[in-house]
Amino acid sequence: MKTILITGSTDGIGKLTALKLAKEGHDIYLQGRNEAKLNSAISELKEASKNQNIKGYVADFSDLLAVKQMASDIKNDLPKLDILINNAGVLKTKDTFAKNGLDYRMVVNYLAPYLLTQSILPILEKGNHTRIVNLSSAAQSKVQKGVLTGDATVNSSESYAQSKLALTMWSFSFAKNHPNIITLAVNPGSLLNTKMANEAYGQHWSPADKGADILYDLAVSERHKTQSGTYFDNDKGMYANAHPDAYNTDKINALLTLTESIISS
């Protein structure tokens, strides 16, 4: 049985993926920013899956200090982690900036999963055939330095697309630097029937299960174990090319250098 952490798993495709994996008897750890909602999701999944090995962490991913604290708690609690699904994400928010002055979407969608993953690397390296699944998007847009540092403002859709490209660029770099960890980026499907899509667009094209099914598959199926450092486009149902910048070593290095300076400041 695997030890699995899924961020952003109190609703949407994160929660559906957790249920599918919990039904197989794995040890599941959820993450949510609201304690009551997290506890409710844990209770619901335990009952639905007949699996009592479901726990959770409360952390607001718009607050990097909270992410650091969660990483510290995970390292204290778990000897190893086999699967990490960086699913937490946000598009529409009432605030443009998080409390640290950084773009809200950049923090939640990119900096938080980056910081979490790098911080718990020791237990990921102890995992059994470890996999990381990073939630990208069909929306990927050239990362602007000012948007990353919080010095420039763009609309929410644009900063979302930039955050998802940043995550994809880092995924490919991480895969290269950690060959013993299978690292995959995925567009789970455009306009799935989730709270995020419905709040942003007021409509959906596909059921949320479409996204949960591919996350489950990427996390455990043997057919993906040779695909580390690639991008799966679930709109097409196949591996595909991400944005060209995701293959540009100079741009990736510049992004990661800037990311480290932001994280450590």
Confidence (pTM): 0.94
Which pLDDT band, with edges at 50, 70 and 90, does 193 fall under?
very low
What's the token pair of residue 32?
């949510």
For the cut 60, the answer to whether the pLDDT of residue 203 exceeds it is: no
Mean pLDDT in the chain?
92
Q: How many domains are contained in the chain? A: 1
pLDDT tens, position by position, 100-118: 899 999 999 999 999 999 9
183-204 burial code (b ≥16 CB/10 A, e <16) = bbbbbbbbbbbbebbeebeeee
The fraction of the chain above a pLDDT of 70, given in percent, is 93
198 pLDDT more than 50? no
| 8 phi-psi bin (left φ>0, alpha ψ -120 to 50, beta other) | left
Say if residues 188 and 165 touch (Cβ distance below 8 Å).
no
pLDDT digits (tens, 9 = 90+) for 20-46: 999 999 999 999 999 999 999 999 999
Q: Which two tokens stand for residue 220?
A: 């455990």
Look up the domain containing 230 and give its range: 3-264
Rounded CA separation 166/160 (Å): 10
DSSP secondary structure code for residue 222 in this structure:
G
Q: Residues for the chain: how many in total?
A: 265
- The least confident of 10-19, 193-202, 205-214, 236-245 is 193-202
- Using a pLDDT cut of 90, give the percent of the chain over it: 84
Q: DSSP E strands: which ranges in 125-236?
A: 131-135, 182-187, 230-233
Spatial separation of the C-alpha atoms in residues 104 and 89, rounded to whole Å: 10
Q: Is residue 190 predicted with pLDDT exceeding 70? A: no
Distance of CA 174 to the CA centre of its chain: 14
| Top-ranked range on mean pLDDT: pick from 89-103, 111-125, 206-220 | 111-125
The answer to whether 214 and 234 are in contact (CB under 8 A) is yes
Domain containing 135 — which CATH number?
A: 3.40.50.720
Residue 169 backbone dihedrals phi, psi, to 5 degrees: -60, -45
Say what the pLDDT of residue 197 is: 45
Q: How confident is the model at residue 50 (pLDDT cuts 50, 70, 90)?
A: very high
Per-residue model confidence (pLDDT) at position 93: 80
Which residues is 182 bridged to in the sheet?
131
